[in-house]
């Protein structure tokens, strides 16, 4: 009896200790993740004067100011960058959806000669890293005189072999009988695609859309290469420009205000579509 | 079937936009980049070159900036891939063992994924930077523990490397945690019950059951981690500014873009050679990884 | 090892947060399982039988009641200290380990004075493998084995530590029909050879009846009846148990008791024994399929809808207005003579195969 009690107690103590260690560890990492966000919001509401006079950084402020946000939109063209990014994101995502849907439909539903070969070739393109083709694309766009223009920004990134693949797999889950039923009713392929396939596969399309929006919002390399006119900067190279030439180098609170403005849309999107995004990413997205 | 005859064309018609875009912006550039890399002294303004050969590769391999970038990238890969995978594994195991707060923590851990690398990099910069009038927050903490402050952004090489690795890990963590937690969650609970009934210790359960069960996912993460870390660039820009060569913190991808554009740009041939060098390295390492993992994963 | 369950109760908080009522998975279960017997826990899904098994194994802790193994109170003891072997429904064999490594796994966990040498472990593993007749498969991986073979490996792994109690969760549900028959004999044999008290969970009454020394019938967390299979079949305590045991299932009718006679529809089908004046008027009547005899002058008439020949016996399918089952099934000897399809068939009933149940509580009254 006594021995049993000892075993029971030891097991309970060990279990509780493991719990405490786990929670502490997880909390520490949560702190590491959240702290930069806290710091950026905190700094963005500190007055410039107050910030500059802090030799030792303060962890809170008693006199928050929103002046920095006004500065962010007036002193530097943050609004312009923002608008550009929205146009770029919407344009790229919209065109991509059309291109990808059509191609996925062809692979999933239509019969044509050379389909298998074409699909294998498409898949093999998935292995080509972006960094390898950027060089020529840069030269091409420059030669076409499309630098500092939305077509130049958008066109090279409107296809994604991976999304075609993802969508094709999803399209193939739609039972054949639906297609034949539609054929019997005299529905055209395009109408079938729009009225049947797209609504049924909407969850996947939404996932693709969200992933693409995130990718567009954060894209840096291509916009940086292809634009040198402020009027076409996106938020990523815009913030870099702000850092190096805007505000005067030392107005860090205003800079942080800009960072907050840039970060908020995606964080809101994430909080709204949390499950969709996490599911989509685990199905096949790596950052960048 | 009627659409056998006409439908042949129709299929290709639906594919046409994708083929055009991919052909123009992927297939052609892929071929072209090899051509560039062998054209010596290509001038992008006049579109002429002197001859063909290995000169571009030779130049790149002797360029101290490239060698610096190569060293930085390798250090970054060797430090961040094992560390981030290891920490992510610990966090995922922890997450899987708790119930309250789990969803909240998962959401928090995923946040860096949806942030703009450039923007948040700026926050890291001010956290680590030491300026004339302020020590910066991280240095403040170092002082608390009795250390002496270091400028992590403009200071010694090891300090800059530390920040770069730290930020890179911070950025890649969400993806790894996500993949590993779902891999762990998909392990059938009966295995753990069976092991518990047999009195298996926590450590032994982890080493003998959990790890082998999720090893395919770990290898997947290591491989994608290697590929991703070799392509590091924007994290460095976020921390050290666009002139990475001056900061001594350039990466291979950064070297490629600098050769293409910017103050030192205008040399697509050198850029191509460097890009191809990078991808032969990545390809080799990926193949080695696959070979090693292929030997170990046999069930 | 004798296993005693004392007022065992398990409540789970309800998933629906608005309802504050707990879900009672096992309610006040008391049972003394005799040493060395094979016990079948039987019931439809959700009846609490798997929860009971998990309580005995220690994977779950009861919210009330005690569990004893022999004289030891093990209620709060973690599973690894209880000395049990557990076989999972899907076997839970580690896919990355060979059969031998799987069987060795529990032995390698032993620490301190229980620790075995390599040779001892091998010897025990070989013995367990021989017992379940998989000694030829020791170096394969579970993925390369058939379902039946995996099942044997799982049993070997559970037995290798020589547990005090062996627990099997739906041991046959993942096997095809032919293997099921074979494997259940195998389980019976292994249990007899080792003499380990064995408790298994199943929803298949035929399986439980065929090999158990005793069966426990459960419904919604409450034990309905405990006893030897034949005993429970012949003397069901209530309508649920009567309906749950037996294939084809028992035929149930609405009936009335008048003047010592049992009426189904308009016909008096059976004379009831004397001295049962306190019987209620309205009852449920249960008649086992083998309780019918075809008699041209029988008191019980049904509309014949078909005959299924099963070899030695034939199954007569008919309908009756008062029947609660869609069809009335009677199993009669093939010698009963040919039956014309359509029209009426008349039966007389064997008294021992007819049960009466109270309409309100469904308790058996006769």
Q: What is the ipTM of this complex?
A: 0.89
As beta bridge partners, residue C263 has C256, C268
Residue of C nearest to B200 (CA): C109
Amino acid A288: pLDDT: 36
- C chain contacts of residue B194, beta-carbon cutoff 8 Å: 86, 88, 92, 157
In B39-113, alpha helices (H): 55-62, 64-97, 102-110
- B chain contacts of residue A32, beta-carbon cutoff 8 Å: 170
Asked whether the predicted pLDDT for residue C214 surpasses 80, the reply is: yes
| Min Cα–Cα distance to chain A from B299, Å | 23
Q: How far apart are CA C290 and CA C295, in angstroms?
A: 14
- B chain contacts of residue A211, beta-carbon cutoff 8 Å: none
Instruction: Kindly state whether A110 is in contact with chain B, defined as any CB-CB distance less than 8 angstroms.
Output: yes
* C78/A11 touch (CB, cutoff 8 Å), yes or no: yes
Token look-up 């290798």 returns C160
Q: How far apart are CA C47 and CA C222, in angstroms?
A: 8
> In which region does residue A233 sit, left (phi positive, over 0), alpha (psi from -120 to 50) or beta (all else)?
beta
CB atoms closer than 10 angstroms to residue B247: 17
Q: How far apart are CA C243 and CA B247, in angstroms?
A: 83
Instruction: Kindly state whether C94 is in contact with chain B, defined as any CB-CB distance less than 8 angstroms.
Output: yes
- Percent of chain C's residues with pLDDT above 70: 95
pLDDT band for position B298 (50/70/90)?
Answer: very low
Asked whether the predicted pLDDT for residue B297 surpasses 60, the reply is: no
Amino acid B299: pLDDT: 44
Amino acid B243: pLDDT: 85
Which of B196, B204, B299 is closest, CB to CB, to C96? B299
pLDDT tens-digit profile of C76-98?
A: 888 888 889 999 888 888 888 89
pLDDT tens-digit profile of C166-194?
A: 999 988 888 888 888 888 888 999 999 99
User: Chains A, C: CB contacts under 8 A, how many?
Assistant: 15
* A33/B108 touch (CB, cutoff 8 Å), yes or no: yes
First to last CA, chain A: 61
Phi, psi torsion values for C13, nearest 5 degrees: -65, 140
User: Chains B, C: CB contacts under 8 A, how many?
Assistant: 57
**Bridging pattern class, strands C267-271 and C261-264:** antiparallel
Residue of B nearest to A281 (CA): B175
Q: Which range (A94-108, A234-248, C144-158) has the least confidence?
A: A234-248
Instruction: Kindly state whether C174 is in contact with chain B, defined as any CB-CB distance less than 8 angstroms.
Output: no
Instruction: Kindly state whether C28 is in contact with chain A, defined as any CB-CB distance less than 8 angstroms.
Output: no
Instruction: Kindly state whether A43 is in contact with chain B, defined as any CB-CB distance less than 8 angstroms.
Output: yes
| Min Cα–Cα distance to chain A from C78, Å | 7
Amino acid A209: pLDDT: 92
Range C248-272 average pLDDT:
86
Instruction: Kindly state whether B12 is in contact with chain A, defined as any CB-CB distance less than 8 angstroms.
Output: yes
Instruction: Name the token pair of B289.
Output: 């990884």
Whole-prediction pTM: 0.82
Instruction: Kindly state whether B41 is in contact with chain C, defined as any CB-CB distance less than 8 angstroms.
Output: no
Amino acid A104: pLDDT: 94
* C73/A4 touch (CB, cutoff 8 Å), yes or no: yes
**Closest residue by Cα to residue A97 from A174, A178, A154, A172:** A154
**Given a contact as 3+ CB pairs under 8 Å, which chains touch A?**
B, C
- B chain contacts of residue A15, beta-carbon cutoff 8 Å: none
**Closest residue by Cα to residue A163 from A216, A97, A88, A94:** A97
Amino acid C241: pLDDT: 94
pLDDT band for position A189 (50/70/90)?
Answer: confident
Amino acid C348: pLDDT: 87
* C74/A4 touch (CB, cutoff 8 Å), yes or no: yes
pLDDT band for position A143 (50/70/90)?
Answer: confident
Amino acid B1: pLDDT: 42
Chain centroid to Cα A168, Å, comes to 22
Which of B197, B201, B209 is closest, CB to CB, to C94? B209
Q: Which of B71-85, C98-112, C327-341 has the highest average model confidence (pLDDT)?
A: B71-85
- Window B:45-84, CB contacts with A under 8 Å: none
Asked whether the predicted pLDDT for residue A283 surpasses 80, the reply is: no
CB of B276 within 8 A of CB of B283?
Answer: no
Token look-up 């029971």 returns A8
Helices A252-272, B117-128: crossing angle, 10 deg rounding: 130
Amino acid B21: pLDDT: 93
- Window A:226-265, CB contacts with B under 8 Å: 235-237, 239-240, 243-244, 252, 255-256, 258-259, 262-263
**Closest residue by Cα to residue C299 from C269, C335, C338, C334:** C269
Range A103-110 average pLDDT:
92
- Contacts for C316 with CB less than 8 Å, ≥ 6 apart: C292, C294, C304, C307, C329, C330, C331, C332, C339, C345
> Is the dihedral angle over the CA atoms B71, B77, B78, B80 positive or is it negative?
positive
Amino acid B7: pLDDT: 53
Amino acid A188: pLDDT: 86
pLDDT tens-digit profile of B191-233?
A: 988 888 888 888 888 998 999 999 888 988 998 899 899 999 9
Amino acid C5: pLDDT: 92
The H or E element that residue B183 is part of is: helix B157-185
The H or E element that residue C101 is part of is: helix C99-108
Q: Which range (A40-49, B61-70, B126-135) has the least confidence?
A: B126-135
- B chain contacts of residue A72, beta-carbon cutoff 8 Å: none
Asked whether the predicted pLDDT for residue B4 surpasses 50, the reply is: no
Helices B211-230, B157-185: crossing angle, 10 deg rounding: 140
* C78/A1 touch (CB, cutoff 8 Å), yes or no: no
Amino acid B5: pLDDT: 46
Instruction: Kindly state whether C68 is in contact with chain B, defined as any CB-CB distance less than 8 angstroms.
Output: no
Which of B188, B198, B201 is closest, CB to CB, to C106? B198
- Percent of chain A's residues with pLDDT above 70: 95
First to last CA, chain C: 37
* C80/B212 touch (CB, cutoff 8 Å), yes or no: no
CB of B242 within 8 A of CB of A240?
Answer: yes
- Contacts for A83 with CB less than 8 Å, ≥ 6 apart: none
Amino acid C238: pLDDT: 92
Determine the Cα angle at B138 with ends B133 and B144, to 5°: 95
Which of B18, B110, B140 is closest, CB to CB, to A164? B18
Amino acid B38: pLDDT: 87
- B chain contacts of residue A57, beta-carbon cutoff 8 Å: 134, 136-137, 140
Helices A202-218, A252-272: crossing angle, 10 deg rounding: 170
Residue of A nearest to C68 (CA): A1
Amino acid A286: pLDDT: 47
Asked whether the predicted pLDDT for residue B131 surpasses 80, the reply is: no
Q: Which range (A78-82, A190-194, B12-16, B197-201) has the least confidence?
A: B197-201
Amino acid A174: pLDDT: 87
Q: If DSSP codes are grouped into helix, strand and coil, which group holds residue C169?
A: strand
pLDDT band for position C235 (50/70/90)?
Answer: very high
pLDDT band for position A75 (50/70/90)?
Answer: confident
- B chain contacts of residue A164, beta-carbon cutoff 8 Å: 18
Transcribe C187-200 into DSSP letters: HHHHHHHH--EEEE
| Min Cα–Cα distance to chain A from B249, Å | 17
- Contacts for A281 with CB less than 8 Å, ≥ 6 apart: A211, B113, B175, B178
CB atoms closer than 10 angstroms to residue C313: 17
């Amino acid at each position: 009896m006594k021995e049993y009690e000892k075993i029971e107690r030891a097991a309970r103590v060990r279990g509780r200790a493991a719990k405490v260690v786990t929670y502490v560890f997880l909390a520490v990492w949560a702190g590491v993740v959240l702290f930069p966000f806290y710091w950026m919001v905190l700094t963005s509401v500190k007055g410039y004067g107050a910030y500059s006079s802090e030799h030792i950084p303060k962890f809170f402020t008693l006199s928050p100011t929103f002046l920095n946000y006004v500065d962010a939109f007036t002193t530097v063209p943050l609004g312009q960058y923002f608008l550009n990014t929205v146009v770029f994101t919407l344009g790229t995502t919209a065109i991509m959806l059309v291109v990808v849907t059509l191609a996925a439909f062809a692979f999933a539903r239509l019969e044509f000669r050379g389909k298998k070969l074409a699909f294998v070739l498409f898949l093999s393109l998935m292995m080509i890293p972006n960094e390898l083709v950027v060089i020529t694309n840069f030269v091409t766009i420059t030669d076409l005189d499309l630098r500092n223009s939305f077509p130049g920004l958008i066109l090279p990134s409107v296809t994604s072999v991976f999304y075609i693949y993802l969508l094709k797999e999803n399209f193939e889950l739609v039972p054949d009988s639906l297609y034949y039923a539609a054929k019997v009713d005299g529905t055209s392929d395009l109408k079938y695609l729009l009225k049947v396939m797209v609504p049924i596969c909407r969850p996947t399309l939404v996932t693709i859309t969200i992933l693409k929006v995130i990718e567009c919002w954060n894209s840096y390399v291509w916009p940086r290469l292809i634009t040198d006119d402020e009027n076409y900067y996106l938020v990523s190279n815009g913030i870099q420009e702000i850092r190096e030439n805007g505000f005067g180098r030392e107005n860090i609170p205003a800079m942080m205000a800009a960072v907050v403005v840039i970060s908020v849309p995606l964080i809101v999107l994430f909080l709204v579509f949390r499950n969709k995004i996490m599911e989509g990413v685990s199905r096949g997205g790596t950052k960048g | 079937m009627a659409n056998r005859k006409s439908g042949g064309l129709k299929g290709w018609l639906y594919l046409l936009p994708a083929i055009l875009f991919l052909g123009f912006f992927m297939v052609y550039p892929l071929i072209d980049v090899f051509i560039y890399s062998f054209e010596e002294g290509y001038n992008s303004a006049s579109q002429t070159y002197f001859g063909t050969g290995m000169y571009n590769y030779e130049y790149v391999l002797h360029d101290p900036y490239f060698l610096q970038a190569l060293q930085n990238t390798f250090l970054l890969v060797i430090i961040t891939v094992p560390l981030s995978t290891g920490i992510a594994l610990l966090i995922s195991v922890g997450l899987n063992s708790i119930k309250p707060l789990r969803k909240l923590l998962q959401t928090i851990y995923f946040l860096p994924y949806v942030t703009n690398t450039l923007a948040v990099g700026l926050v890291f910069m001010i956290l680590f930077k030491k300026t004339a009038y302020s020590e910066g927050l991280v240095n403040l903490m170092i002082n608390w523990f009795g250390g002496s402050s270091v400028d992590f952004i403009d200071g010694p090489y090891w300090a800059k490397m530390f920040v770069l690795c730290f930020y890179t890990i911070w950025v890649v963590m969400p993806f790894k945690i996500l993949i590993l937690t779902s891999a762990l969650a998909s392990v059938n609970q009966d295995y753990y019950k069976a092991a518990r009934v047999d009195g298996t210790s926590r450590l032994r359960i982890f080493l003998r059951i959990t790890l082998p069960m999720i090893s395919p996912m770990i290898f997947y993460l290591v491989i994608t981690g290697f590929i991703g870390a070799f392509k590091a660039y924007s994290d460095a820009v976020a921390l050290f500014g666009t002139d990475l060569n001056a900061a001594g913190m350039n990466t291979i991808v950064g070297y490629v873009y600098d050769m293409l554009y910017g103050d030192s740009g205008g040399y697509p041939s050198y850029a191509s050679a460097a890009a191809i060098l990078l991808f032969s390295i990545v390809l080799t390492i990926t193949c080695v990884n696959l070979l090693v993992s292929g030997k170990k994963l046999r069930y | 090892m004798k296993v005693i369950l004392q007022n065992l109760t398990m409540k789970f908080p309800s998933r629906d947060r608005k309802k504050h009522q707990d879900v009672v998975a096992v309610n006040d279960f008391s049972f003394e399982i005799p040493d060395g017997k094979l016990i079948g826990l039987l019931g439809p899904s959700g009846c609490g039988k798997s929860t009971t098994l998990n309580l005995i194994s220690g994977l779950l802790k009861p919210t009330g009641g005690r569990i004893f193994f022999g004289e030891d109170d093990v209620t709060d003891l973690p599973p690894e200290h209880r000395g049990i072997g557990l076989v999972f429904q899907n076997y839970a064999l580690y896919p990355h380990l060979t059969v031998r490594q799987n069987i060795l796994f529990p032995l390698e966990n032993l620490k301190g004075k229980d620790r075995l040498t390599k040779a001892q472990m091998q010897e025990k593993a070989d013995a367990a493998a021989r017992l379940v007749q998989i000694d030829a498969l020791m170096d394969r991986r579970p993925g390369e084995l058939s379902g039946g073979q995996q099942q044997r490996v799982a049993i070997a792994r559970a037995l290798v530590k020589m547990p005090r109690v062996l627990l099997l969760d739906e041991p046959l549900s993942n096997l095809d029909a032919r293997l099921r028959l074979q494997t259940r004999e195998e389980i019976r044999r292994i249990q007899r050879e080792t003499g380990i008290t064995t408790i298994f969970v199943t929803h298949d009454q035929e399986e439980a009846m065929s090999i158990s020394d005793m069966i426990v019938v459960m419904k919604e967390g409450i034990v309905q009846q405990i006893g030897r299979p034949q005993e429970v079949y012949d003397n069901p305590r209530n309508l649920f148990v009567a309906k749950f045991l037996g294939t084809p299932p028992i035929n149930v009718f609405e009936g009335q008791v008048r003047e010592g006679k049992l009426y189904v529809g308009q016909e008096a089908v059976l004379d009831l024994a004397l001295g049962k004046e306190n019987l209620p008027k309205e009852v449920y009547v249960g008649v086992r399929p083998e309780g019918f005899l075809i008699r041209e002058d029988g008191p019980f008439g049904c509309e014949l809808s078909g005959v299924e020949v099963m070899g030695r016996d034939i199954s007569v399918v008919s309908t009756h207005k008062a029947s609660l089952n869609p069809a009335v099934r009677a199993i009669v000897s093939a010698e009963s003579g040919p039956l014309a399809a359509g029209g009426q068939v008349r039966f007389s009933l064997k008294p021992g195969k007819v049960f009466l149940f109270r309409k309100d509580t469904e308790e058996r009254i006769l």
